[in-house]
């Protein structure tokens, strides 16, 4: 990535390094005249149709997000507009991992795929593209209740436990979406990619917190409806950006279900229209359902439940002691007593200690390179937790710098050694460092040997929270899992470049005015070399019709389009909808 561009937007500027790694330059100059025509067609259709079925802030929201009908949005213009409502936007390369996507939302930054769908996927693409991300997500951001939900969802999603299977499914979906957007994709390769996604979906095992949370995200942020069950409005970005499914989703065959926590039971397939959708009465209901689910998550439950999920995850996780000390690393084991209370935790490999998501000086991965282990719980015979003991009470225990002591925990773990240092913050004891230290469990097994060096003992009565990722991600130098597959960037042959030039000539005439006579030449070149094209023909007809000139040429083009719609079913709706908008033009001044 080149020098980081924050667009003068404070939300983008505040992004941490581990999220900045996904940002790519938009390269606005790479968008072709055909790309702009695809954007314009979809936006005009959206405006015409969605003004009646979208949740009411959608149309004024286009303005507030810095979007126009006429051209693909420029990230600088979007950031100028979004900054006024406390949000920002960045471009990325296709699908990014769910955990990173969620965290961007927590920072109130929209993640926008820089690419745009091809003309033959104009109605819908499984790949994230700038139509979906900006025309879908951005307009609803203007609604305060909704963007509060979105950022809150992100903050919870960023802590969700994920599994190895989640990553494998992410990779499979990303690979399939890239293939589907390639104009010359091999049919066999595409079939294998589809089979891989299907296999991954069927072999996920017990769904992780992230997998379940992704379902709630899908049925709300992407495919949500709001209002009353028999007459809902669209607010989900997947529907708002699909000129096909935004219409078909309102049909009776698509079941409408009240949105409750039960939505978490419904898996989804990104490659197919949705068989059911969920209707929320209000955005507050979305927050209520999210709260219900969050109460089941490891970051709120902590204890043995949270640690069991961390061990299963095999990813970097963080356990939070009741003292507020945070231990980050790959958790290898934990021990619990007969009551289910955790009394020992252990990580393997590089680990780090933090407080309030800031790494403690001298306690990073290089220092704790071989892992970290520590008791959890109270000292035997002491009702007051060790974390809450005053300086005087610590001295009575023999915890005095430079002196030897022995600590016996209720679990039977015994710590014997010389006190090197005691770390306390905000009236909480966090960490005691020992030299010449031996740690044994109740059976006499050695948990730490003096020859291993300094023993840093975490202090805390309980593990109150466990979440995925490091506490201080940037200090941990956490490179969030990043795909090895890149999105497809086409190179154009001479024939395609000629088509781009024809589209540009029509665009120039619409934007700059002037003589319409040469559009006949554009039409003849389309007929001669690009007979499959329908969108450029539609744009020429729109200009001729609106200015009421060249009636014979207009009639010829109309006949061509009507024949194509009648004889080629895949174009019927696209052309019919386009012809409808020529007779019922959108009032662009309302959204420009």
Q: Which residues are annotated as a binding site for Fe cation?
A: 132, 137, 222
d(CA 306, CA 311): 9
Q: Residue ranges for the binding site?
A: 132, 137, 222
Beta bridge partners of 455: 434
Which of helix, strand or coil describes residue 459? coil
Classify 478 as helix, strand or coil. coil
SS (H, E, C) 349-376: EEEEEEECCEECCCCCCCCECCCCEEEC
Are residues 112 and 141 in contact, defined by beta-carbon separation less than 8 angstroms?
A: no
SS3 415: strand
CA distances, 192 to each of 168, 255, 269, 486 (Å): 15, 31, 16, 18
Q: DSSP string spanning 198-249?
A: HHHHHT--SPPHHHHHHHHHIIIIIT-EEEETTEEEE--HHHHT-TTHHHHT
356: left (phi over 0), alpha (psi -120 to 50) or beta: left
Assign residue 27 a region (left: φ > 0; alpha: ψ between -120 and 50; beta: otherwise).
Answer: left
The Cβ of residue 446 has, within 10 Å, a number of other Cβ atoms equal to 11
465's enclosing H/E stretch is strand 463-468
Percent helix, percent strand, percent coil in the chain, to nearest 5: 45, 20, 35
Backbone angles phi, psi at 520, to 5 degrees: -65, -40
Contact (CB, 8 A) for 83 and 105 = no
DSSP assignment, residue 39? H
Q: Are 74 and 28 in contact (CB under 8 A)?
A: yes
Integer Cα distance of 485 and 170 in angstroms: 11
Burial of 261 (0-12, 13-18, 19+ CB in 10 A): middle
At 449, give phi and psi (nearest 5°): -110, 145
DSSP state of 23: B
What are the distances in angstroms from CA 466 to CA 345, 360, 570? Answer: 12, 18, 51
- Tokens for 403, please give them: 């002196």
**Residue-wise burial string across 54-81, b where 16 or more C-beta atoms lie within 10 A, e elsewhere:** bbebbeebbebbbbbbebbbebbbbbeb
- Helix (H) / strand (E) containing 92: strand 88-92
Provide the residue count of the chain. Answer: 592
């Amino acid at each position: 990535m080149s020098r980081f561009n924050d667009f003068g937007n404070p939300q983008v500027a505040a992004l941490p390094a581990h999220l900045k790694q996904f940002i790519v330059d938009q390269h606005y100059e790479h968008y072709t005249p055909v790309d702009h025509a695809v954007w314009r067609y979809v936006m005009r259709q959206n405006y015409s149709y969605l003004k009646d079925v979208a949740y009411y802030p959608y149309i004024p929201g286009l303005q507030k997000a810095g979007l126009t009908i006429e051209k693909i949005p420029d990230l600088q213009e979007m950031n100028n507009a979004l900054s006024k409502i406390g949000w920002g936007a960045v471009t990325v390369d296709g699908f990014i991992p769910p955990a990173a996507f969620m965290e961007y939302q927590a920072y109130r930054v929209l993640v926008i795929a820089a690419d745009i769908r091809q003309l033959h996927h104009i109605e819908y693409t499984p790949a994230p593209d700038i139509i979906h991300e900006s025309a879908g997500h951005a307009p609803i951001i203007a609604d305060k209740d909704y963007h509060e939900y979105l950022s809150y969802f992100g903050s919870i999603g960023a802590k969700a436990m994920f599994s190895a299977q989640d990553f494998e499914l992410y990779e499979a979906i990303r690979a399939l979406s890239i293939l589907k957007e390639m104009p010359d994709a091999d049919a066999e390769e595409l079939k294998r990619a589809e089979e891989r996604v299907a296999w991954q979906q069927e072999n996920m095992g017990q769904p992780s917190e992230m997998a379940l949370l992704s379902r709630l995200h899908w049925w709300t942020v992407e495919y949500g409806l709001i209002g009353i069950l028999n007459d809902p409005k669209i607010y989900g970005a997947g529907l708002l950006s699909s000129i096909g499914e935004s219409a078909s989703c309102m049909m009776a065959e698509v079941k409408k279900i009240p949105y409750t926590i039960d939505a978490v039971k419904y898996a989804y397939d990104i490659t197919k229209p949705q068989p059911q959708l969920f209707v929320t009465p209000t955005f507050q209901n979305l927050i209520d359902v999210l709260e219900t689910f969050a109460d089941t998550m490891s970051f709120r439950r902590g204890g043995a439940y949270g640690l069991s999920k961390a061990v299963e995850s095999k990813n970097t996780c963080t356990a939070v002691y009741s003292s507020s000390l945070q231990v980050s690393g790959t958790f290898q084991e934990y021990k619990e007593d007969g009551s289910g209370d955790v009394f020992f935790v252990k990580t393997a490999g590089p680990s780090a200690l933090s407080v309030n998501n800031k790494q403690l000086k001298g306690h990073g991965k290089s220092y704790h390179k071989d892992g970290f282990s520590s008791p959890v719980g109270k000292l035997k015979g002491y009702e007051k937790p060790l974390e809450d003991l005053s300086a005087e009470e610590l001295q009575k225990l023999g915890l005095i710098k430079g002196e030897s002591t022995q600590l016996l925990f209720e679990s039977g773990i015994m710590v014997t050694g010389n006190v090197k240092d005691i770390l306390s913050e905000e009236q909480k004891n966090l960490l005691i460092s020992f030299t010449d230290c031996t740690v044994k469990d109740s059976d006499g097994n050695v948990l730490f040997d003096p020859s291993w060096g300094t023993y840093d003992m975490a202090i805390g009565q309980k593990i109150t929270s466990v979440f995925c990722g490091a506490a201080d991600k940037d200090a941990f130098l956490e490179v969030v899992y990043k795909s090895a597959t890149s999105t497809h960037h086409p190179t154009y042959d001479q024939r395609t470049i000629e088509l781009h030039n024809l589209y540009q000539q029509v665009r120039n005439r619409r934007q700059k005015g002037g003589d319409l006579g040469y559009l006949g030449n554009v039409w003849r070149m389309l007929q001669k070399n690009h007979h499959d094209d329908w969108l450029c023909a539609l744009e020429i007809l729109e200009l001729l019709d609106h200015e009421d000139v060249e009636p014979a040429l207009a009639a010829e083009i109309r006949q061509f389009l009507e024949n194509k719609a009648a004889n080629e079913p895949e174009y019927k709706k696209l052309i019919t909808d386009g012809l409808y908008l020529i007779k019922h033009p959108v009032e662009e001044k309302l959204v420009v």
